[in-house]
A and B are shown apart, each in its own frame.
Chain A
Amino acid sequence: MLYFDNAATSFPKPPEVAQAMAQLLATDAANPGRAGHRMAVRAEQKLDQTRLKLARFFNAPDHHRLVFAMNCTDALNMAIKGVLSDASGAHVITTVLEHNSVSRPLQSLATSGGGGIELTRVTCDDDGLIDPDEIRKAIQPNTKLIVMMQASNVLGTIQDIAAVGKIAREHDLLFCVDSAQSAGVLPIDIQAMNIDLLAFPGHKSLLGPTGTGGLYVGTRCPEPVSSSSGSGDHPAAFRPWREGGTGGDSSSPSQPAMYPFYLEGGTPNTVGVAGLDAGLQYVIDHDMSKTLTHEQHMVQTIIDKVADDDRFILYGPPEASKRVGTVSINIKGYEPSDAASILDDSFEIAVRPGLHCSPYAHRRIGTYPAGSIRISPGPFNTDEQLATLLDALDQIAG
Chain B
Amino acid sequence: MTQSLDRYHRQILLPCFGEEGQRKLLGSTALILGCGALGTMNASMLARAGVGRLIIIDRDFIELTNLQRQILFNEADVANAIPKAAAAKEKLSGINSDIEIISVVDDINHANLERYCGLTEGSEYPRVDVIVDGVDNFETRYLANDVAVKHGIPYIYGGAVGTFGAQYAILPHTEKGDAPWEKLPGATPCLRCIFEQMPPPGLTPTCDTVGVLGPVVSIIANLEVVETIKVLLGNFAAVRPTMLNIDVWENTYRQLKIAKAYDVGDCPCCKHRKFEFIDGFFGSSTTTLCGRNAVQLTHKQGHVGTGSHSGGGGMNFDEIADRLRKHGKVTANKFMIRAELTDNGNPYELTLFTDGRAIVKGTKESNIARSIYAKYVGA
CA distance A220 to B111 in the complex (A): 50
Residues of B145-171 contacting chain A, CB below 8 A: none
Residue contact B351 to A341, C-beta cutoff 8 Å: yes
Please indicate the chain B residues that have their CB under 8 angstroms from the CB of A341 in the complex.
296, 336, 351, 353, 357, 359
Most B C-beta atoms less than 10 A away, residue of A338, A357, A362: A338
Rounded to whole Å, the gap between the CB of B359 and the closest CB of chain A is: 6
- Interface residue? B194 (CB, 8 A): no
Given A337-B296, A337-B359, verify A346-B335 contact (CB < 8 Å). yes
Which segment, of B97-105, B254-262, B287-295, faces chain A? B287-295
Which segment, of A271-279, A300-308, A347-355, faces chain B? A347-355
Residues of B340-370 contacting chain A, CB below 8 A: 351, 353-355, 357, 359, 361
- Interface residue? A356 (CB, 8 A): yes
Residues of B within 8 A of A (CB): 289-294, 296, 309, 311, 333-336, 338, 351, 353-355, 357, 359, 361
CA distance A369 to B294 in the complex (A): 11
- Interface residue? A345 (CB, 8 A): yes
Residue contact A337 to B294, C-beta cutoff 8 Å: yes
Please indicate the chain A residues that have their CB under 8 angstroms from the CB of B292 in the complex.
335, 337, 354, 369-371
Least CB separation from B358: chain A residue: A341
Contact of A345 among B291, B293, B333, B355 (CB under 8 A): B355
Given A338-B338, A341-B357, verify A355-B290 contact (CB < 8 Å). yes
Contact of A342 among B293, B294, B353, B361 (CB under 8 A): B353
Q: List 17 A-B contacts (CB under 8 A).
A: A335-B351, A335-B361, A337-B289, A337-B296, A337-B359, A338-B351, A342-B353, A346-B311, A346-B353, A354-B290, A354-B292, A355-B291, A357-B290, A362-B291, A369-B293, A371-B290, A398-B333
Residue contact A354 to B354, C-beta cutoff 8 Å: no
Least CB separation from B349: chain A residue: A335
Digitize A346-379: 1 where CB-to-B-CB distance is under 8 Å, 0 elsewhere. 1010000111110000100000111100000000
Please indicate the chain A residues that have their CB under 8 angstroms from the CB of B336 in the complex.
338, 341-342
- Interface residue? A336 (CB, 8 A): yes
Rounded to whole Å, the gap between the CB of B252 and the closest CB of chain A is: 39
Rounded to whole Å, the gap between the CB of A282 and the closest CB of chain B is: 29
Given A345-B335, A345-B357, verify A336-B291 contact (CB < 8 Å). yes
Please indicate the chain B residues that have their CB under 8 angstroms from the CB of A338 in the complex.
336, 338, 351, 359
15 new A-B contacts at CB < 8 Å, known A335-B361, A353-B290, A369-B292 = A335-B351, A335-B359, A337-B294, A337-B296, A338-B338, A338-B351, A341-B296, A341-B351, A342-B335, A345-B355, A356-B290, A357-B290, A362-B291, A370-B291, A398-B333
Most B C-beta atoms less than 10 A away, residue of A341, A354, A357: A341
Least CB separation from A357: chain B residue: B290
- Interface residue? A193 (CB, 8 A): no
Digitize A141-184: 1 where CB-to-B-CB distance is under 8 Å, 0 elsewhere. 00000000000000000000000000000000000000000000
- Interface residue? A396 (CB, 8 A): yes
CA distance A66 to B335 in the complex (A): 48
Rounded to whole Å, the gap between the CB of B308 and the closest CB of chain A is: 11
Residue contact B354 to A346, C-beta cutoff 8 Å: yes
How many residues of chain A have a CB within 8 Å of chain B? 21
Top 7 A-B residue pairs of the complex, sorted by shortest distance between their CB atoms:
A354-B290, A354-B291, A371-B291, A355-B291, A345-B353, A342-B335, A345-B355
Please indicate the chain A residues that have their CB under 8 angstroms from the CB of B309 in the complex.
348
Least CB separation from A338: chain B residue: B351
Please indicate the chain A residues that have their CB under 8 angstroms from the CB of B333 in the complex.
398
CA distance A119 to B294 in the complex (A): 31
Please indicate the chain A residues that have their CB under 8 angstroms from the CB of B354 in the complex.
345-346
Rounded to whole Å, the gap between the CB of B314 and the closest CB of chain A is: 14
Residues of A288-346 contacting chain B, CB below 8 A: 335-338, 341-342, 345-346
CA distance A362 to B290 in the complex (A): 12
Please indicate the chain B residues that have their CB under 8 angstroms from the CB of A353 in the complex.
289-291
Please indicate the chain B residues that have their CB under 8 angstroms from the CB of A357 in the complex.
290
Least CB separation from A1: chain B residue: B309
CA distance A341 to B357 in the complex (A): 9
Least CB separation from A335: chain B residue: B292
Rounded to whole Å, the gap between the CB of A330 and the closest CB of chain B is: 12
Rounded to whole Å, the gap between the CB of A361 and the closest CB of chain B is: 12
Rounded to whole Å, the gap between the CB of B320 and the closest CB of chain A is: 15
Please indicate the chain A residues that have their CB under 8 angstroms from the CB of B290 in the complex.
353-357, 371
Please indicate the chain B residues that have their CB under 8 angstroms from the CB of A335 in the complex.
292, 351, 359, 361
Please indicate the chain A residues that have their CB under 8 angstroms from the CB of B361 in the complex.
335
Rounded to whole Å, the gap between the CB of B294 and the closest CB of chain A is: 6
Please indicate the chain B residues that have their CB under 8 angstroms from the CB of A346 in the complex.
311, 334-335, 353-354
Given A338-B351, A341-B296, A396-B335, verify A369-B359 contact (CB < 8 Å). no
Please indicate the chain B residues that have their CB under 8 angstroms from the CB of A355 in the complex.
290-291
Digitize A374-398: 1 where CB-to-B-CB distance is under 8 Å, 0 elsewhere. 0000000000000000000000101
Rounded to whole Å, the gap between the CB of A103 and the closest CB of chain B is: 14
Rounded to whole Å, the gap between the CB of B354 and the closest CB of chain A is: 6
Residue contact A354 to B359, C-beta cutoff 8 Å: no
CA distance A357 to B289 in the complex (A): 11
Rounded to whole Å, the gap between the CB of A291 and the closest CB of chain B is: 27
CA distance A398 to B331 in the complex (A): 14
Please indicate the chain A residues that have their CB under 8 angstroms from the CB of B289 in the complex.
337, 353-354
Residue contact A337 to B335, C-beta cutoff 8 Å: no
Please indicate the chain B residues that have their CB under 8 angstroms from the CB of A368 in the complex.
291
CA distance A371 to B290 in the complex (A): 8
Please indicate the chain B residues that have their CB under 8 angstroms from the CB of A356 in the complex.
290
Please indicate the chain A residues that have their CB under 8 angstroms from the CB of B355 in the complex.
345
Please indicate the chain B residues that have their CB under 8 angstroms from the CB of A345 in the complex.
335, 353-355, 357
Rounded to whole Å, the gap between the CB of B356 and the closest CB of chain A is: 9
Please indicate the chain B residues that have their CB under 8 angstroms from the CB of A398 in the complex.
333
Please indicate the chain A residues that have their CB under 8 angstroms from the CB of B357 in the complex.
341, 345
Please indicate the chain B residues that have their CB under 8 angstroms from the CB of A337 in the complex.
289, 291-292, 294, 296, 359
Digitize A219-261: 1 where CB-to-B-CB distance is under 8 Å, 0 elsewhere. 0000000000000000000000000000000000000000000
Rounded to whole Å, the gap between the CB of B332 and the closest CB of chain A is: 12
CA distance A212 to B294 in the complex (A): 30
Please indicate the chain A residues that have their CB under 8 angstroms from the CB of B296 in the complex.
337, 341
CA distance A341 to B361 in the complex (A): 14
Digitize A97-134: 1 where CB-to-B-CB distance is under 8 Å, 0 elsewhere. 00000000000000000000000000000000000000
